[in-house]
Amino acid sequence: MKILVDYRENETEVIKVISAKIISEFLIEIEFNDGVKRVLDFKPFLLKSLHPSISKYLNHQVFERFEITDGNLNWNDYELIFPVWDLYKGEL
């Protein structure tokens, strides 16, 4: 007797950022690999931070220099990065 189990049913897709664009000053529209899109306002988070390595992103020219690296929204070689799941849920 041969039993076959298809484990693919239990696989879950890893959520990744596939695109991101500036909508206005600190608003970014983020699209994920499952088709979900979120518009997130990063300004409240940046205003709360007292640390200079984060508050420097209140300068819009610095803020807009993000890139997508390995499915993450990333600033300055991981100096500023958010958990993808938080971005997906729309929480910073």
Is 38 within a domain?
yes
- Structural domain of residue 27, as residue ranges? 14-89
The total number of structural domains in the chain stands at 1
Confidence (pTM): 0.83
CATH of the domain at 19: 3.30.2020.10
Is 29 within a domain?
yes
d(CA 53, CA 56): 6
How confident is residue 55, by pLDDT bands cut at 50, 70 and 90? very high
d(CA 48, CA 58): 11
Which runs of E-coded beta strand occur in the chain?
Answer: 17-24, 27-32, 37-41, 66-69, 72-75, 80-81
**Owner of token pair 């993808």:** 84
Q: What is the pLDDT of residue 13?
A: 81
Average of per-residue pLDDT across 62-86: 96
Q: What is the pLDDT of residue 66?
A: 97
Is 2 within a domain?
no
Is 4 within a domain?
no
Is 26 within a domain?
yes
d(CA 50, CA 52): 6
